[in-house]
Each structure stands twice: as structure tokens, then as C-alpha cells.
Amino acid sequence: MSYKAEKPFSERKAECSKLIEKFPDRVPIIIEPRASFPGKLDKNKYLVPVDMNVGQVLHLIRRRSKCASHTGIFLFIDNVMPATTARLKDLADNHKSDDGFLYLNCCGEDTYGGFIFHISQ
């Protein structure tokens, strides 16, 4: 279930406003795995530094979800994949929701030799 469906708008807006007031040098983000995501995140809300980039978030997701090394993880904002060098502050300025959170969707795909072939003799 998505975070937007779990909590009413007013509660999300108040929570985000409080976070931004208390931590002005951080960006509040919500990471929502799609059905194709192979791992399970232990939490979906993060408060990340303004200078953090998408590549660092991908590393954070891999570490928190314990995905296999052969699984490629991809992030999307409004069904568009941002560059791995894009700063979250810049993305939040352009794509944050009306409640103030930046919503990221993540999915995974078996890559890098993740398929095992059995060869019979």
C-alpha cells in the first residue's frame, strides 16, 4: 500500500513541514517499491542530506533491502528515471508532491549474469 493511501494529506503535510523546519539541510523522501522489486525495504521514509545524489540513494536501497548483487535497482520519479548524478535537492525542487515529500519508486531486474543455466551432458 502506498504512503499516500495510508495517511491523509493533512497528516503527511504536517509531518513534512515539521521535518523541514527541524532539519532544513535535509530532503524528506518516500521510497515505494514496485511489484517487481525483489527485496523488502525495512522502512520507506528517509531524511537525506541535500547534496545526496540518486546513485547514493541506490546504494542505500541496496544495503537496506539486502538485494543480490546481480539485481539491478532502478529509481523512477513520475515514471521517469533520473540521472544517477542528479541531486535529490534539485529533484525535490522540481518534483516534490503537494505534501512536501519527494516520492521515488524503485524496481529491480535480474542483470549482470543473474540467470543460472543448467547444461546437461
What CA–CA distance (Å, rounded) separates 72 from 70? 6
Question: What would you measure as the largest C-alpha separation in the chain, in angstroms?
Answer: 66
- CA triplet 3, 97, 78: central angle to 5 degrees? 85
Query: 8: which residues sit within 8 A by CB, 6+ positions away?
Result: none
Q: List the chain pLDDT tens, one digit each, 121 residues.
A: 688 899 999 999 999 999 999 999 999 999 888 776 667 778 889 999 999 999 999 888 888 887 767 777 888 898 899 999 999 999 999 999 999 999 998 887 766 554 444 344 4
Residue 53: name the closest of 23, 17, 27 by CA.
27
pTM of the model: 0.83
pLDDT tens sequence across 33-51? 877 666 777 888 999 999 9
The total of other beta-carbon atoms located within 10 Å of residue 4's CB is 15
**Quick one: cell of 109?**
531486474
CA atoms within 13 A on the CB side of 8: 2
Contact 16, 99 (CB under 8 A): yes
For the chain, list the domains and their CATH numbers.
3-110 (3.10.20.90)
Contact 75, 57 (CB under 8 A): yes
Q: What letter represents residue 27's amino acid? A: V
